[in-house]
Structure 1
Amino acid sequence: MADVTTTRPPVWRGVLDRIEAARRGDSSESLAAVFVLAATVIALVWANSPWGWTYDAFWDIQLAITVGDAGIDLDLQHWVNDGLMALFFFVIGLEVKREFAMGELRDRSKAAVPLAAAVAGLVLPALLYLLLNPSGAAASAWGVVISTDTAFLLGALAVVGPARAERLRIFLLTLAVADDVGALAVIAVVYTDELSLVPLAVGVLGLLAIWQLRRLRVWRGGGYLIVSLITWVAFYESGVHATLAGVLIALLLPVYPPKRALVERAAALTRAFRQSPNPDYARSARLGLERAVSVNERLMRLYQPYTAFIIVPVFALANAGVPLTAETLRASLTSPLTWGVVLGLVLGKFVGITGATALFARLRPGSLAPGLRIPQVAGGAALSGIGFTISLFIVDLALDDEPLLADEARVGVLAASVIALVLGAGVFRLGARLGLEPEEPSMELLRPVDPHRDHIRGPVGAPLTIVEYGDFECPFCSKATGSIRQVRAHFGDDVRYVFRHLPLDDHHPDARSAAEVSEAAAKQGRFWDVHDAFFAHNDALGREDLLRYCAELGLDVDRIEEDLRDGDAQNRVADDEIDARTSELPGTPTFYLGANGSPPRRHIGPYDADTLIAELTRLREAASDPV
């Protein structure tokens, strides 16, 4: 059996190494949350130190950028909130676009539960806030309670969440994306100042120019950058909050999986450089590699670490410095605004998300992802009360002319974040203490066999079931195919065989690609043909080999290439892989055996044909025994 091995980095590593790892795309949500938390603590200490007056004095410094008679003159805080945060919202827009195009939100059936939970988590907090603040200047700040800070949420989940929480993490990520869309819509509609039509028209023309660049298949970032800067300035001058320009631009940028022709060209250019290293070939190879990846993914990989580790911490430093004087705390303790923020973020998110998820799961049984339970969702819902970044951002928009109310709102945001963290940890701990969160993974098959989803050999309703988690490049899995043939020959139509994916990337570099190609072939109804071919050639599964086997089997290779681009195959393989990791499978092949409708259980021990036949026979007899 091929083992699943995981390597963990040392606990203590240099901060610079961690940042560089993040820049390469291996960013850690918990590390990003630590940076924001550190910036928040520094802001609070600074604002409440003997030199606290310098906090406001520093962020009130004016900085003007002018060209001739035109220019923008802002204080440092608003350069952060209106300028740097535009890049933050740009990255959010890139993530939203990618999720809708290739990620979890592409499959509406899978996204239905977190989307419903997100809507409830937007509406109920706002209603609870308005219950305490129905009128006056404070009423305009209801948007403060609607959004969740994704970085803090995922960082807190990593620290206080349960083991085997990957499904919960995906659920919360999907929910957070929908949450961001709702918050951005509220900012656009509710917190827009008076409109200036001429600059707005220029901004719209800028967006149309970006759309045209996309239609022309411009792939270099420079052209998009110039038009984006002009669009940002136009939106700022129009009165529409400039950060929305970042979101709209991101939503227009193209996103797609790498195209085969472009990947092959990049490989050829790289080979040419290796054979004859020179500046011209180096530039061609670099441009070829960049062109093979969509603008969306290149920009997200480039900017995401900087927004996580620089921009958001700087934003926290500029906005979290509330003077916690006795007067401020006294006013906050009796302020409907402060308590409205706490009630909305803590109770509204907890009840709204948990209640909507439980209701949806009851109305549509099986709608929750395998391994995801309501107690887990409740803990994640509690952590969703950490609003922080966008909450503080909306405080600045809603209460810019009310500094005392703004301080009360910021105290509410900070208090709610602490309470939500404690509540989330408590819910997770209570679930574990009550046995609602098992200490060990179940030996039963996590995801029931689904004829509409699974690849099944044999009668769908057969009384005996074999489920294998396998890897096309695994030599043990290849040998196990012989055992399965003998078992199926022995039981005939009394057994059904189900294959699921568990590519071991550390050991088998081509296994994932083979799994994804097999899923693309399944769309042509030929999964089992390529399954047999790939195992027959499990020592030669390069991309060209895989496509050649498909062509030899008479499949439409161009269609396979197209189906690989839409992301469905990758998501399906990832789904099986997450199920396997949640169940803590020891490696490949891993078999589950079941009889007469009982849930298949993990088979421990040899998997030769005689052993599997004997175990299935025993299970059938045990299931038929009335005792």
Structure 2
Amino acid sequence: MAIRDFVACGVEPIEQALMPFQEFFRSKTTSGVLLIVSALTALVWANSPWAASYDGLWQTEFTVGFGAAALSKPVILWVNDGLMALFFFVVGLEIKREFLVGELSSRSQAVLPIAAAIGGMVVPASLFALVNLGEPSLAGWGIPMATDIAFALGILALLGDRVPYQIKIFLTAVAIVDDIGSILVIALFYTADISFPMLGAGAACLALAFAANRMGVRSPVFYALAGCLLWFFVLKSGVHSTVAGVLMALAIPARTRCDAEAFSVNAARVLRDYRDAAGPGESVLTNGDMHSALLSMQRIVARAQTPLQRLVHGLHPLVDYIIMPLFALANAGVALSGGIQAPAAPAALGTALGLVLGKPAGIVLMVLLIIRFSEGYPRGVTLRHFVGAGMLGGIGFTMSLFIATLAFGRDPVLLAGAKTAVLGASLAAGLGGFLVLRGAPRSRSPNA
């Protein structure tokens, strides 16, 4: 809710000064803008006379802990293995919410985006594999599978009511299913040698978190501690540590402690107590009854919410405005002066074809198949809208860069070629999707 809604309570000068910045960070396009700025900064920095400082910064060793419990890793691995685990935690929370109450909660709603997402993963991966058969770069087949929903929704927001509301929901659901597929690919195919004792310890932490959920534990501190332990054990097990974020998200409670009627009754009672206690000239600093009523209202509001909702709301700014831009800054710095070297050409070509052609082709083909056996297109939606959405699905950026680092982390030549292709293909897919949707008939849907 905007600060302007609280004018009756008084707005401090600092709140008025910060209001434009708060409005900027509430915009749907902001996270996409920050990602673009971070990626461009990384590219310029990595191709400038100060390129050595760019590489030196991210390869600097950083140690957390002490003694036998110390972890020493380059800064870039703390970003990719540590901070990105929090990104995947938020992704996991959104996946859980979608399956409980969102677009994936019923079979009729879920069929179209799930089918489209599967097509949008299989076709790009297959194209990459065909181009890279017999090459060392075949390991990167998972790179063109994912969709960067921050960029995609940012472009849809720029288009406004030219895009039906149903397409925005469709693309969000496709991206959620994409994320599930990418997480499974990371867990199953991009792991090192597995340490079963460490994996068992992680499973015990996860079981404890699920048991605490069943027992009614709702403290964020408890789940934060359990999540840190799970992350550590998964990291040491050989499975990529970001998987721990998704698994812990599934253990977060998604139930309220009071329904809407109970909340209304209790809130009305507390508000009445507050009004009765608030006499002329009274201050909450000196009036214990007023302060007690405010504390009661806080407890009532907390019981009416779910821990899942509070965590999504609280962590989204951290993920959108700090972690993802920092990831882009750390991973998008590719030296372009030498071009794509010959050994990396198949990986670059497979990535570009997968994102620019394979992604929209897979999505649209599955949409046509499902529409063929259903009641037709949703009201106000045309094939052109799905084509544009499919092209926006080719904006791989964050997840594609992430999988590229997993696939080619030990081969700088292949990694540089794949990253260059991801950046170029994501730009082409975004621009193409924007132009296709911009030329579509303006939506007449009342929900647009």
Instruction: Give me the TM-score of the superposition, normalised by structure 1.
Output: 0.64
Tell me if the contact between 1:161 and 1:428 (Cα under 8 Å) persists in the aligned partners.
no
Query: Which one-letter code corresponds to 1:87 in the other structure?
Result: L
Q: Which residue is 2:362 aligned to? A: 352
Q: Which residue is 1:232 aligned to? A: 231
Structure 1 residue 373 corresponds to structure 2 residue 392: no
Deviation at 1:19, TM superposition (A): 5.8
Q: Which residue is 1:416 aligned to? A: 425
- Greater fraction of residues in strand: 1
Question: Which whole-Å CA distance do the structure 1 matches of 2:443 and 2:208 have between them?
Answer: 55
Question: Which whole-Å CA distance do the structure 1 matches of 2:18 and 2:199 have between them?
Answer: 42
Question: Which residue among 321, 329, 335 is the counterpart of 1:309?
Answer: 321
Structure 1 residue 438 corresponds to structure 2 residue 437: no
Deviation at 1:96, TM superposition (A): 0.5
Question: Which whole-Å CA distance do the structure 1 matches of 2:185 and 2:166 have between them?
Answer: 29
Question: Which residue among 307, 310, 333 is the counterpart of 1:298?
Answer: 310
Tell me if the contact between 2:340 and 2:417 (Cα under 8 Å) persists in the aligned partners.
no
Tell me if the contact between 2:43 and 2:334 (Cα under 8 Å) persists in the aligned partners.
yes
Closer/same/farther in 2, CA of residues 127 and 232 from structure 1, 3 Å limit: same
1:483-531 CA distance string (max 9 Å, x none):
xxxxxxxxxxxxxxxxxxxxxxxxxxxxxxxxxxxxxxxxxxxxxxxxx
1:235-263 CA distance string (max 9 Å, x none):
11111111111101111212246623356
Closer/same/farther in 2, CA of residues 320 and 440 from structure 1, 3 Å limit: closer
Structure 1 residue 47 corresponds to structure 2 residue 46: yes
Tell me if the contact between 1:269 and 1:288 (Cα under 8 Å) persists in the aligned partners.
no
Deviation at 1:358, TM superposition (A): 1.4
Question: Which whole-Å CA distance do the structure 1 matches of 2:160 and 2:335 have between them?
Answer: 32
Query: Which one-letter code corresponds to 1:102 in the other structure?
Result: V
Q: Which residue is 1:401 aligned to? A: 410
What is the count of residue pairs matched by the alignment?
422
Question: Which whole-Å CA distance do the structure 2 matches of 1:266 and 1:341 have between them?
Answer: 55
Structure 1 residue 324 corresponds to structure 2 residue 336: yes
1:40-79 pair list within 5 angstroms = 40-79=39-78
Closer/same/farther in 2, CA of residues 354 and 61 from structure 1, 3 Å limit: same
1:183-236 CA distance string (max 9 Å, x none):
111111111111112221111111111101111111221211111111111111
Question: Which whole-Å CA distance do the structure 1 matches of 2:275 and 2:41 have between them?
Answer: 49
Closer/same/farther in 2, CA of residues 440 and 352 from structure 1, 3 Å limit: closer
Query: Which one-letter code corresponds to 2:259 in the other structure?
Result: K
Closer/same/farther in 2, CA of residues 18 and 145 from structure 1, 3 Å limit: farther
Query: Which one-letter code corresponds to 1:70 in the other structure?
Result: A
Closer/same/farther in 2, CA of residues 347 and 284 from structure 1, 3 Å limit: same
- Please state whether the residue corresponding to 2:76 is helix, strand or coil: helix
Question: Which whole-Å CA distance do the structure 2 matches of 1:84 and 1:306 have between them?
Answer: 10
Query: Which one-letter code corresponds to 1:72 in the other structure?
Result: L
Structure 1 residue 580 corresponds to structure 2 residue 439: no
Q: Which residue is 1:153 aligned to? A: 152
Q: Which residue is 2:259 aligned to? A: 259
1:71-220 pair list within 5 angstroms = 71-160=70-159, 163-220=162-219
Closer/same/farther in 2, CA of residues 296 and 42 from structure 1, 3 Å limit: same
Q: Which residue is 1:383 aligned to? A: 392
Q: Which range is displaced more, 192-201 or 380-389?
A: 192-201
Tell me if the contact between 1:162 and 1:428 (Cα under 8 Å) persists in the aligned partners.
no
- Please state whether the residue corresponding to 1:69 is helix, strand or coil: helix
Question: Which whole-Å CA distance do the structure 1 matches of 2:101 and 2:88 have between them?
Answer: 20
Question: Which whole-Å CA distance do the structure 1 matches of 2:305 and 2:24 have between them?
Answer: 19
CA RMSD of aligned residues (A): 2.4
Closer/same/farther in 2, CA of residues 388 and 164 from structure 1, 3 Å limit: closer
Query: Which one-letter code corresponds to 1:372 in the other structure?
Result: V
Tell me if the contact between 1:316 and 1:389 (Cα under 8 Å) persists in the aligned partners.
yes
Q: Which residue is 2:9 aligned to? A: none
- Please state whether the residue corresponding to 1:64 is helix, strand or coil: strand
Deviation at 1:374, TM superposition (A): 1.1
Unaligned runs of 5+ in 2: 1-15, 278-283
Q: Which residue is 2:3 aligned to? A: none
Q: Which residue is 1:338 aligned to? A: 348
- Please state whether the residue corresponding to 1:105 is helix, strand or coil: coil
Instruction: Give me the TM-score of the superposition, normalised by structure 2.
Output: 0.88
Deviation at 1:63, TM superposition (A): 0.6
Deviation at 1:297, TM superposition (A): 0.4
Deviation at 1:438, TM superposition (A): 3.0
Question: Which whole-Å CA distance do the structure 2 matches of 1:171 and 1:241 have between them?
Answer: 29
Closer/same/farther in 2, CA of residues 71 and 298 from structure 1, 3 Å limit: same
Question: Which whole-Å CA distance do the structure 2 matches of 1:15 and 1:363 have between them?
Answer: 56
Tell me if the contact between 1:161 and 1:425 (Cα under 8 Å) persists in the aligned partners.
no
Question: Which whole-Å CA distance do the structure 2 matches of 1:101 and 1:230 have between them?
Answer: 27
1:485-504 pair list within 5 angstroms = none
- Please state whether the residue corresponding to 2:89 is helix, strand or coil: helix
- Please state whether the residue corresponding to 2:314 is helix, strand or coil: helix
- Please state whether the residue corresponding to 2:447 is helix, strand or coil: helix
Question: Which whole-Å CA distance do the structure 1 matches of 2:110 and 2:206 have between them?
Answer: 29
Closer/same/farther in 2, CA of residues 74 and 287 from structure 1, 3 Å limit: farther
Tell me if the contact between 1:32 and 1:151 (Cα under 8 Å) persists in the aligned partners.
yes
1:75-123 CA distance string (max 9 Å, x none):
1111111111111110000101001001111121022111110000000
- Please state whether the residue corresponding to 1:322 is helix, strand or coil: coil
Query: Which one-letter code corresponds to 1:346 in the other structure?
Result: V
- Please state whether the residue corresponding to 2:109 is helix, strand or coil: helix
Question: Which residue among 281, 299, 308 is the counterpart of 1:287?
Answer: 299
